Amino acid sequence: MDFPAVLLRWDDAESSSPSPNPTKHLSVAGKAGIGIGVTMGVLLGFLIGFSLFYFKRRRTHVAARDQEPSQEHQLLHYGHSGSIQKNAHSPSAHHHHWSSVLLDSWFYESIAVCFSIASFIAIFCTLLVYNQQKTPKLPSGLTLNTVVSILATCSKSSLLYIVGECIGQLRWISFGRYSKPLSDVQAYDSASRGPWGSLIMLLKDKGYSLASLGALVTVLGLLFDPFVQQILTYPVREVTQNSSAASIQQSRYIIPDPTLGSGMSTGFFDAANAGIWTDNFDLEPKCPSGDCTWPLFQSVELCTKCQDVTSSAKIQGCQTSSFNMSSRQDQTISCNISLPQLSPYEGSISLSYETMQGIKPVTEMVIPEKVVWVGHSLPLVQTLSNKTIGGVENPLLVIAQAEFSLPASEMVESPGKQFFPGTNLGLSNVTECVLSLCSRTYNVSVSSGQSSIRVEKEDFGNFYFKPLNGTTCWKPSSSPYMNSTSEYALVDYSYRVDTDNFAFCGAHASVYQDALPFPGEKAWTFSDTIPYWILETTENITSSEIKKVFESGLETTLSNIAAAVSKYARDMSGIIVSGQVTTSESYVSVHWPWLILPALLLLLGVVLLVSTGTLNRCRKTSLWKSSVLPLIYHGLEKDSFDGENGYESMSKMESSASETRVKLGLPDTENRLMLIEDERGPGISIMGSSVGNLDAKSTAHAVIERQRMTRRYSSVW
């Protein structure tokens, strides 16, 4: 049997591209929005689930209660005749069912506490996301303080609503168990409405009841908003960030002009010539803020390295005594300078005669004073000799300068003294300078607008020959050689560049040498006038460029030329190194301890709600909370009034209320719960009294009365 071929393939986990992180590029506002959205989503899901569960349970409980023979009818039968007929399917019954679900429960308070907690969590998430971040610019001119203030107001308002309802319910719980002064009804009501009433309750109750906890939360709630506002501050800090605005030029190769092949461009020549006359060719970092830093970076440049070689220089020839003064003919003798590993300077001393009519013939002797020449040029050969000059292996060019010396007596006019110039010619100073390609590692920074440019490392690299192209190549010491099979950026047939490794081909020494004004010299001119030799004041110099070299010094001039050519290379490459900009910015600083009090108040509010609900369930008190309707439907019994017409003023009512002790119970003449004046001691309590089922009796009566009122309003509508 033939089985189909199955190809199995394993992908290396390291070779596979990593999955992008979708949240990596989210803004701070996006993260805050996600945090708040998740919080609200969890809250919404919890509320929906809680509501469905509660409605189902409540509906089952109400339906079962309506179908069973009510014990309330039996307990209240003493005050009513006949039977009460119920229609569970009538519109009024349906309306009563939903009212019972919403009003005869802690449903609204549960939603409020969840909303308060969610708002507080939203504050926490917002602060957590924006902490230590740049001060945000929100749409429509909103500020972070505004957002936090709105959320804090939502949390605080919901919390105070919960506390007010709990204090209102604790009023009925307390009156249902003990007889209390009638004025406490007003005290509880005031405490449920605001901080002043709560403060009065704290002073009166002194923390002996659960209502004091609610009063404490209400009073401390005054500090909720100020504490939240203290959480945020906006200090200023120095921030460093990557920015293309902080830029500096970089060169990865030096090619005189790729369009001219092995020739020399006008721009390259102008750059070298500018180095003779000016000296402003440093790196120019661009930093708009005045404070920037750059990472260490390499740049291919032209570098110089000079040393004094006077001790190893030797004069060859230069013997003016060998002139035949009697011949009266122009004569020349050699005057050379030799240096180890360098080509010698080949100069001369000349003697000439000039005859003018009627004047004695004048003899002139020209003796070199300062000379400069190219002592070494990198040959275009397949195998280099690995010559090291001035600490550089196979340098591109080596320039030497020598200064001759004459005794003081021969340098000035000496009237009355006959002497012969050049008899004591010597060397006072000899300098050799390497001019070669190099790789510099720069450390650049800008502080308070002042640039700091340091060369951390200078590598003269290696030259090598490529037979395939017949050209000389260069690379840094740590870079690989450019082989013949690799593909590199082709600038010209003779020019190939490997920008990744700072290597390139086309480093011809002849191009650089042609751009320099060397060789050149400055000479003394002596004339034999009657009766002695004198030094003429007229300068005898090769060119103005050589004159500038002698005035500035060879080392300074070559440094300027190298800097000018390096700047030309950076301008031609167009490569930019981006740095980091340091700017001052305000940021969000969150002081978390200020959040402790709001969190504690929220926790106390939750504890108060749970405790009140649990206590109310244990004592089976009607759930009236802070509603004013119970005072209308279940007010004082008629016998509690003394019949006097003196209750129009608040002072009279307050005085009477403080002396009257009442409790919630069933009066003898009414079939509804009322505040009964307690003149007989403990009295009857609906909170689990010795009568046993009296609480059920009062509850049944309340249900019957509610149904009677419902039928009455239904008949009207």
Q: What is the pLDDT of residues 579-635, one digit of tens each?
A: 999 888 899 999 999 999 999 999 999 999 999 888 888 888 778 887 777 776 666
Tens-place pLDDT, residues 270-315: 899 999 999 888 889 999 989 999 999 999 999 999 999 999 999 9
User: Which residues have CB under 8 Å from 289's CB, separation 6+?
Assistant: 245, 246, 581, 582, 583
602 neighbors 116 (Cβ within 8 angstroms):
yes
Helix (H, G, I), strand (E, B) or coil at 520: strand
Hey, where are the domains in the chain?
28-233+590-716, 300-447+455-554
Tens-place pLDDT, residues 408-444: 666 555 555 556 777 778 899 999 999 999 999 999 9
Query: How many whole angstroms separate alpha carbon 38 and alpha carbon 46?
Result: 12
DSSP β-bridge partners for residue 466:
471
Tens-place pLDDT, residues 34-49: 666 666 666 666 666 6
Residue 698 has pLDDT above 50, yes or no: no
Going by pLDDT thresholds of 50, 70 and 90, the confidence category of residue 469 is low
> Taking all residues of the chain, what is their mean pLDDT, rounded to a whole number?
77
DSSP β-bridge partners for residue 111:
none
DSSP β-bridge partners for residue 583:
239
**Alpha carbon distances (Å) from 711 to 89, 91, 96, 698, 708:** 14, 11, 11, 20, 5
Quote the tokens at residue 334.
Answer: 């050699």
404 neighbors 367 (Cβ within 8 angstroms):
yes
Helix runs in 286-426, H state only: 408-411
Phi (first) and psi of residue 108, to 5 degrees: -60, -40
Query: How many whole angstroms separate alpha carbon 476 and alpha carbon 479?
Result: 5
User: Which residues have CB under 8 Å from 573's CB, separation 6+?
Assistant: 249, 250, 251, 252, 253
Residue 194 has pLDDT above 60, yes or no: yes
Please name which of 460, 322, 302 lies closest in space to residue 389, comparing C-alpha atoms.
460
Residue 697 has pLDDT above 70, yes or no: no
Query: How many whole angstroms separate alpha carbon 291 and alpha carbon 578?
Result: 14
The interaxial angle of helices 596-619 and 144-177, nearest 10 deg, is 30
Q: How far is Cα of residue 294 from the mean position of the Cα atoms in its chain?
A: 17
Helix (H, G, I), strand (E, B) or coil at 90: coil
pLDDT for res 713 = 31
Helix (H, G, I), strand (E, B) or coil at 411: helix
446 neighbors 292 (Cβ within 8 angstroms):
yes
Amino acid at 122: A
Residue 363's Cβ-count burial label (10 Å; 0-12, 13-18, 19+) is middle
User: Which residues have CB under 8 Å from 594's CB, separation 6+?
Assistant: 227, 228, 230, 231
Q: How many residues does the chain have?
A: 717
Tens-place pLDDT, residues 332-389: 999 999 999 899 999 999 988 877 655 667 788 888 999 999 999 988 776 777 889 9
**Phi-psi label, residue 609: left if phi above 0, alpha if psi -120 to 50, beta otherwise:** alpha
pTM for this entry: 0.60
Phi (first) and psi of residue 478, to 5 degrees: -90, -5
286 neighbors 427 (Cβ within 8 angstroms):
no
The residue written with tokens 């009857």 in the block is 684
Amino acid at 566: S
Q: Is the four-CA dihedral 549, 566, 305, 398 of positive or negative sign?
A: negative
Q: What is the mean pLDDT of residues 217-231?
A: 92
516 neighbors 561 (Cβ within 8 angstroms):
yes
